[in-house]
Structure 1
Amino acid sequence: MLTVVDIGNSNIVVAVHDGERWVHSFRIYSDQKKTTDEYFVVLDRLISSTDVPTGAI
């Protein structure tokens, strides 16, 4: 699996590719006040809600 991240001023977009197609994408509002831990929790919950094993990323 390939994971790409586009970090912009207003959004962070994360997409997962399985080698053949894009299987999931997530858009998160960028907030300068959020810590890396807060972003980790958000991403972890988003990925956990899919069928993608976190170990595959």
Structure 2
Amino acid sequence: MLLSLLILPLYIPILIFASSAVSQAQFGLDITGQLYFLATILVVSIMATPFVSALALKISLE
């Protein structure tokens, strides 16, 4: 339960920018800003994953 409460704030920006991109696309407006921000979140997440995984493995072995 506690872990889900800690992870929930990480999903909020993705939800906001994705819903904003969808609503702007429905009206035919430009969505490149939202897509660039979502792509930035994706790249940062992919770059941070090995370090977080190594840290989790190190903690679990102790």
- Is the structural similarity TM-score above 0.5? no
Point out the structure with max Rg over C-alpha: 2
Structure number with higher helix proportion: 2
Q: What is the TM-score when the length of structure 1 is the normalising length? A: 0.32
Q: Which has the higher contact order (CA 8 A, sep 6+)?
A: 1
More strand by share: 1
Normalising by structure 2, report the TM-score. Answer: 0.30
